[in-house]
């Protein structure tokens, strides 16, 4: 008999909500068996959820996670999946590098704005000191 999980078992194990698990079902990323009203998840569903959560942590969209999961082929090997994953990693790195440059530019602009405000405040204080 293979290991199965209830929705609450998965939620507890992965520290996510049952609502999130149902959302991934709606997105057709999980397909639990049904025993009456009860959902019964397999070890494959657990692995799929772990992959989704890992993908989200590194910034992949849900569509990208789904694409990578669907590329898995235990019979013919997972070379295509791994190559796709490597390409997406490279793309994500480029996005992060651009975001880092954008943040650094924004910090410079904030520094400039702060310096102008401090200068204007000092000038205001100087004028008020003269007028008093």
Tell me the mean pLDDT per 10 residues along the chain, length 132: 88 96 95 92 93 94 93 84 94 96 98 97 88 56
φ/ψ (deg, to 5) at 94: -60, -40
Please name which of 111, 71, 106 lies closest in space to residue 88, comparing C-alpha atoms. 71
Cα–chain center distance at 31: 22
pLDDT number for residue 87? 96
Token code pair at residue 126: 């100087």
pLDDT number for residue 112? 98
Give the helix ranges, DSSP H, for the chain: 7-14, 18-26, 43-57, 62-70, 79-131
pLDDT number for residue 129? 82
Domains with residue ranges and CATH for the chain: 1-60 (1.10.1660.10)
- Strands across the sheet with 38-42, in order? 4-5, 38-42, 33-35
């Amino acid at each position: 008999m293979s290991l199965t999980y209830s929705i609450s078992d998965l939620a507890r194990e992965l520290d996510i909500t049952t609502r999130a698990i149902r959302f991934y079902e709606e997105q057709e990323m999980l397909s639990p068996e049904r025993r009456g009203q009860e959902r019964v998840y397999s070890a494959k569903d657990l692995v799929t959820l772990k992959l989704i959560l890992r993908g989200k942590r590194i910034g992949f969209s849900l569509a990208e996670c789904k694409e990578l999961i669907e590329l898995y082929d235990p019979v013919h090997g997972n070379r295509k999946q791994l190559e796709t994953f490597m390409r997406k990693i490279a793309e994500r790195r480029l996005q992060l590098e651009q975001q880092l440059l954008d943040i650094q530019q924004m910090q410079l602009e904030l520094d400039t704005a702060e310096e102008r405000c401090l200068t204007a405040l000092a000038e205001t204080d100087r004028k008020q000191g003269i007028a008093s």
